[in-house]
Amino acid sequence: MRKLIRPVITLRRRRIIIDVDTQKDFMLADGKVCIRNHRRVLQNIRRVMAWARAKNIRVISTEQIYDQSDTKHTWCTAGTEGAVKIAYTVRSNHVVFPADGCTDLPRDILKHYDQIILRKRCIDPFDEPRADRVLGELQVNEFIIIGATAEEAVKMTALGLLVRRKNVTILVDAVGTHDRAAAEIALRQAEAKGAKLADTKSLLGSSCLRLVGVCNCARCQGRTQKQSFGVGA
């Protein structure tokens, strides 16, 4: 049946950013499932998104959105603050598609929008029909993946693209993890299937950016806890 669907994403591009689940529950210190390396990851995601804006590189984003009745997935619940994307991962000219089991899309959508945000009720984007169609039909020389988490959604996104014979680059320092060992295995699996592992410095060069701008924890705000030894008391 898929062969009968007329392609609607016909504009070929050199690169596209695949922004995986960069939502507050994953990315902020007070999020329900905050990644373990959130400060460094947020710094690098901020750089990548700024670069994409400057270079007019389109962005495909995914969001995990779960019903309040879903007791298995207690994060990124619909209508909660934790489900909201980090501010600098959202372009002003974007369009959002719900996770509704449909595959319909406007023709040549990336000629009209800088960013497509695809909601999903699952971790693997290819389990959502519309996300499967978008990612499968994109004609791009390089898919650059950022987001969370390396051992789950990032891995599934990368492997799904590789199965569809896409060229994939994972920016490992712009990808969050919960389990370092599992993340390392996941990244090596993707590399073995043909993905390129790189870092933001190799793509964008050096940066003096230190503050992440969205998280209020002491580390992200650049505040350090200094112990007072009572000198002169």
Q: What local confidence, expressed as pLDDT, does residue 82 receive?
A: 97
Chain centroid offset of residue 51 CA: 15
The H or E element spanning position 176 is strand 168-176
User: In whole angstroms, what is the distance from residue 211 CA to residue 37 CA?
Assistant: 14
Determine the pLDDT at residue 228: 39
d(CA 98, CA 101): 9
Q: Give me the pLDDT at residue 129, please.
A: 97
| Cα-to-chain-centroid distance, residue 127 | 17
- What is d(CA 214, CA 90) in angstroms, rounded to the nearest whole number? 13
Helix axes 155-163, 129-137, angle to 10 degrees: 60
* pLDDT < 50: residue spans in the chain: 1-5, 226-233
pTM: 0.88
Starting from the edge strand earliest in sequence, which strands make up the sheet with 59-64, in order? 94-97, 115-120, 59-64, 13-20, 140-148, 168-176, 196-198
Q: What domains are defined for the chain?
A: 8-204 (3.40.50.850)
For residue 117, the model assigns a pLDDT of 99
Residue 92: the pLDDT is: 97
Phi first, then psi: give them for residue 230, nearest 5 degrees.
70, 35
For 15-71, the DSSP string reads EEEEEE--BHHHHSTTSTT--TTHHHHHHHHHHHHHHHHHHT--EEEEEE-B-TT-S
Contact in structure between 36 and 176 (CB atoms under 8 Å): yes
Q: What's the pLDDT score for residue 204?
A: 86
Residues 6+ apart with CB under 8 A from 108: 8, 9, 10, 11
